[in-house]
Structure 1
Amino acid sequence: MNLGYNIVFFLSIAIHPSAQVPSECGAPPSFPHMQVRDKYLRQNIFSNGEKVLYRCAEGYTQYRGIRSIMCEAGKWTKLSMKCEKKICGSAGELFNGHFDYKGASFGDKAYAVCNEGFTLKGVEYRMCKDSGWSGEIPTCEVGGEPQVLPAEVTCPDPSIANGVKLSEAVSVYRVRDSVTFTCSKGFLLTGAQQLTCGPDGQWQPQLPLCQASNDITQSSKPDGRCGVPRYLPNAHLSDRYITQTDFGPGERVSYSCALGYMRKRGTYYSTCVSGKWTPVTLRCERKSCGSAGEISYGNFVYTGVEFGDTATGVCNEGYQLVGRDVRNCMSDGWDGRVPICEAVQCAELPEVVNGETNGYLEPPYFYSTVIGYRLQRGVVMDGPGNWTSALPTCKYRK
């Protein structure tokens, strides 16, 4: 009894101090050329052990590190992910001229320069964008006056109070260019995080706002906390939420489709509001594997062509299966290989009394091989004369 009392006592001593450590974190920090995943943007309180994910901003790609940070004792862990500019490579071949590169990375320009005696017709430069070089390759034609296309429609440099642009700053924003915003620490983004320069020279949608998080939480927070998030068929909570059993008001969890399933429709997140989780409309459907393949001299018998279904190989009459007969529809397609149907090999024919084969055919004998018989003079065939039935017998004619 004393031993049990001591164990309980020491455990209580070990656990008690941790209750004094701050267990919540504020909005995650901002980093250049990176942005927090959309699902975390409206959340400004994170519980101890909760993680957030980052992604590289437009025009950048991850080249090393881990893309998540965790709330530990009221502070965010260090983000090790690093993003670098995307490379566009060559802007193309300009006949009778060349491109003068100011760089070949995201945001850089390549100016078209024609050889002496040739004039430029087309856009003066191409810009390295997230999807590659913009526009089309111009042409250099003999003589004449240059026909440089007028400048494209541009949008003003966007900026919002208490906001930070995550996209690389450029001097000119053209149609279809995009910028991504996040708010400074202590402020919450209201509106769209990513804006696109429209054909009318205006940003679409309209610029968002960065409001003080205290103002927002005071107006929207009942004080109820939420327990374990609800179960969804064919889906599961993202890994970072699996062990968490208590969530504060405004905290959001995300779901993903289970292995072998893919999103069909609906939102994938739920928010703790007034002690209850908001509905999740995510619907996941089984992935389709399509055809399991073609079998020569046979076919597949399907239970279905979606995840979890099977396709069983069946050979035609006279053929036997070589290989595994069943293929399973997995998350990444049908497993195994298409089996083969080989013709059945028949045993050698025994000699027929008072008869002989009509000609000689060397074994082996495979399915559909035909053997003819020739009877000795004075005898007739008694019985069927095909190999698939009993061997014929021959008797003397009466």
Structure 2
Amino acid sequence: MNLVYNVVFFSLAVFASAQVPSKCGAPSSYPHTQIEDKYMKQGVFRNGEKVLYRCAEGYTQNSGVRSIKCHDGKWTQLTMKCEKKNCGSAGELFNGYFKYMGTLFGNKAYAVCNEGFTLKGMEYRTCKDSGWIGEIPTCEEVGETQVVQAEVTCPAPSVANSVKLSETVSVYSVRESVTLVCSKGFLLTGAQQLTCGPTGQWQPELPLCLPSVGEITCNVPKAQENRLINGLKPVYRSGDSLSFSCKDLYYLVGSNTVTCGVEGKWTHSLPRCKMIKCPILNITNGRTSSWHRRPGSDVTISCSKGHLLKGAARIKCSRSGEWMEEIPQCVLEGGEPQVVPAELTCPAPSVANGVKLSEAFSVYRVRDSVTLACSKGFLLTGAQQLTCGPDGQWQPELPLCQPSNDIIESPKPDGRCGVPPYLPNAHLSDCCRAQADLGPGYQVRYSCALGYVRVRGTYYSTCVSGRWTPVTLRCKLR
């Protein structure tokens, strides 16, 4: 009786273990959010494991829950919504008032004194994650002796692929306006009319003239049996994105996210799902009962005449694509095992300050692919997707994760700043490209390069105490 009970119990345990839910790959990206740093380097997550998100810089949570959960090989949907940070009032200015350019993250509030009073202190405050930064200035009564300051002016606005409708001059006085339109074949993104502000900067910020894409659309991806697509809809226009995942026992080859480009083509290429398989068994002086290499399949090994089996006669392929037992060998009776040539593989790619977006393994077979990204504070230089080549080397060569412009050089003793920091996918306005030694308080402006659009951050960097303030502007391919 006990024997029957034990057999039944063992059978149920084996059945239950075979039903263990699959693991999840890298979590999806959501607008205005970031995955908590501690999860960035983890490529595979267990069933039931949670991942936490936070709102991106300049945004605050206004609803939903900030976690998702791995359930049966799929991630639950993130319900957290983030809205742009609102700083509210910039404070009370006695004998004056604040003139707001807005109260959201990145906006400025300029201090204006009443007639008969002069400003002492910072001319404006800026809305940041922590609230309004910069001390509140004071408005002091005008004395008999005053220092006459130079007139504030704005340089002629420089917008690539644009023309000015109003009269063109080299400099503009405060409160003067100019109207812009784009050249043929380009569309205006931003304000058409600009006004010279009290700080010598155009308000609102300079617009962009981007290539006109009209109604260019991308083809709807064809359905594949083992590929799952999130975000399906009838028409995909430039800028629309799709995310992909695979069904159980399949892995993704290619990028898990693609975007419809300005030429009506998906970038990156559409990924595909390949079945997880264990490595090919090459048994010298032996043979296998079958060529099956799918997860859950069993293979029996037998040796040729005159040879003995060293190791397990039956091995099983795991759900992760690895043989669960050590590969056996066929040895001569009374002799040592013969050398078995190893299967050609690529080691897991190692990129300093990089993380893997696709499922992570210790080794990869020929034609296997992996997708890489850089940790926060670093930018990718080189290919994002790599493929294991027939020589056991990654193709193309491994990329680099280089520090972003948030790492600023040491300050100069005279308070002047050197060349403004480099920003990927962006360029400086015409005023600053040829100047290499700018003084304290000088402000430079960046613009996204042609074909790229702003996703977050501000356009300006200021020379303060011999350092350029960090540029938070980030541009992506339109």
TM-score interval, smaller chain: 0.3 to 0.5
TM-score by length of 1: 0.35
Highest CA radius of gyration, 1 or 2? 1
Higher normalized helix content (fraction of residues): 1
Query: Per chain length, whose mean CA-contact separation is higher, i.e. which structure has more relative contact order (CA < 8 Å, sep 6+)?
Result: 1
TM-score by length of 2: 0.30
